[in-house]
């Protein structure tokens, strides 16, 4: 099993760069930069990591397909590929409400939009000339990626992954993409079912399912005080169940329970006291169904549940701030 490491809105950008270097030295296969809420832009951090590492793969985990048009996205990732050739992965997601709606983005038909978006970005990265596409979601007319002055005009080796949660988007990843970065906060059984969905999508498109990479996020709260780690995990899960409907739907938890968590959290952003109350609803048993939490030994043992799900890489997403300890705990 390969291991990757993911960073979100913490620690500082400079510390994230140092962690990427540390993960590379420890033998991790990849570093994934999440673009979460309105906290931090992933691409800026990816560029800094690309400039200061040598071997580790660097993925966006994920950027959404709605607020960057396909031409800008292709140009951006071609630029990153120039900085770290053959080490950049474009991870895309379908975004979520209410965050999208609060920015004036009216998401609809996400499967159609994603299929079209991936198709246009790939054509541009392949340096196809005179790319045109017109639909309700995407309009490009006679575009060709220029690349930088003096750069060799060769197709850009930037694999495209989807970061799916729902079954249909997961099948789409198998059908049209190089990989499926399976979302975190999902049970091992759900991840296992997601791997099967990727296979279905790949075979429907006449592709070899083994050609589709299958990393998966696993959220981890690690502390020598196992109870403190589990409290951190419960609080994080309460926030996501209360704010991101697709996570709640995929969790398999009873709808009346999810509705109560959503009511208590009260949407996005949540008040701190609301999260305290919602955390009381999320028991340790619920949290440990969907993530890893406890002492280092407990976390290593719990992680085994994800080893037989059919994925080929575990991407550790830290919930506690002892990042170096976590890198060492799961050192490949």
Q: At 63, which CATH number?
A: 3.20.20.30
pLDDT at 101: 87
In a domain, 187, yes or no: yes
Give this prediction's pTM. Answer: 0.93
What is the pLDDT, as a whole number, of residue 10? 87
User: Residue 185 belongs to what H/E stretch?
Assistant: none
Is 280 inside a domain boundary? no
pLDDT of amino acid 96:
75
Query: Domain for residue 241, yes or no?
Result: no
Identify whether 28 is part of a domain. Answer: yes
The tens place of each residue's pLDDT in the chain, 332 residues long, gives: 999 999 998 899 999 999 999 999 999 999 999 998 888 999 999 999 999 999 999 999 999 999 999 999 999 999 999 999 999 999 999 987 778 888 888 889 999 999 999 999 999 999 999 999 999 999 999 999 999 999 999 999 999 999 998 899 999 999 999 999 999 999 999 999 999 999 999 999 999 999 999 999 999 999 999 999 999 999 999 998 998 888 888 888 999 999 999 999 987 777 778 999 999 999 999 999 999 999 999 999 999 999 999 999 999 999 999 999 999 999 99
Q: What's the total number of domains in the chain?
A: 1
**What does the DSSP assignment read for 69-132?**
-HHHHHHHHHHHHHHSTT-EEEEEE---TTHHHHTT-----HHHHHHHHHHHHHHHHTT-SSEE
Radius of gyration for the alpha carbons in the chain, expressed in angstroms and rounded: 19
The answer to whether residue 51 sits within a structural domain is yes
Can you give the pLDDT at residue 105?
85
CA distance 327 to 329: 6
Nearest 5 degrees, angle CA 179-CA 183-CA 186? 135
Q: What does the pLDDT read at residue 253?
A: 93
Asked if the structure places residue 236 within a domain, the reply is no
Please report the pLDDT score of residue 271 as a whole number.
77
In eight-state DSSP terms, residue 213 is B
Task: Give the pLDDT score at 247.
Answer: 86
Strand partners, 171: none
Q: Kindly state whether residue 260 falls inside one of the protein's structural domains.
A: no
pLDDT recorded at residue 100 = 85
Whether residue 116 is contained in a domain is answered as yes
Q: Residue 302: which domain range?
A: 2-224+291-329
- Say if CB 315 and CB 216 are below 8 A apart: yes
Using DSSP's 3-state secondary structure scheme, residue 323 falls into: helix
């Amino acid at each position: 099993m390969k291991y990757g490491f993911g960073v979100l809105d913490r620690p500082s950008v400079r510390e994230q760069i140092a962690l990427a270097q540390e993960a590379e030295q420890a033998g991790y296969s990849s570093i994934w930069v999440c673009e979460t809420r309105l906290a931090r832009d992933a691409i800026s951090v990816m560029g800094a990591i690309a400039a200061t590492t040598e071997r580790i793969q660097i993925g966006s985990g994920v950027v959404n397909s709605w607020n960057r048009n396909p031409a800008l996205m292709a140009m951006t990732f071609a630029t990153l590929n120039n900085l770290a050739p053959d080490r950049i992965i474009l991870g895309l997601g379908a975004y979520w409400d209410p965050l999208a709606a609060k920015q004036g983005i009216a998401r609809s038909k996400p499967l159609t939009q994603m299929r079209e978006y991936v198709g246009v970005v790939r054509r541009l990265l392949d340096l196809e000339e005179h790319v045109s596409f017109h639909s309700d979601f995407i309009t490009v007319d006679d575009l060709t990626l220029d690349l930088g002055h003096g750069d060799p005009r060769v197709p850009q080796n930037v694999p495209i992954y989807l970061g799916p949660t729902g079954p249909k988007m997961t099948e789409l990843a198998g059908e049209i993409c190089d990989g499926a970065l399976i979302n975190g906060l999902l049970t091992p059984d759900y991840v296992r079912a997601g791997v099967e969905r990727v296979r279905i999508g790949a075979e429907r498109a006449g592709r070899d399912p083994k050609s589709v990479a299958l990393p998966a996020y696993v959220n981890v709260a690690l502390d020598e005080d196992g109870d403190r780690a589990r409290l951190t995990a419960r609080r994080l899960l309460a926030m996501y169940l209360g704010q991101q409907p697709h996570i709640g739907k995929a969790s398999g938890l009873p709808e009346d329970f999810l509705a109560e968590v959503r009511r208590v959290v009260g949407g996005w952003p949540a008040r701190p006291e609301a999260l305290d109350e919602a955390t009381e609803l999320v028991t340790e048993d619920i949290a440990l169904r969907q993530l890893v939490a406890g002492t280092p030994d407990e976390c290593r043992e719990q992680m085994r549940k994800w080893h037989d799900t059919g994925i080929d890489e575990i991407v550790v997403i830290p919930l506690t701030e002892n990042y170096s300890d976590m890198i060492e705990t799961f050192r490949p």
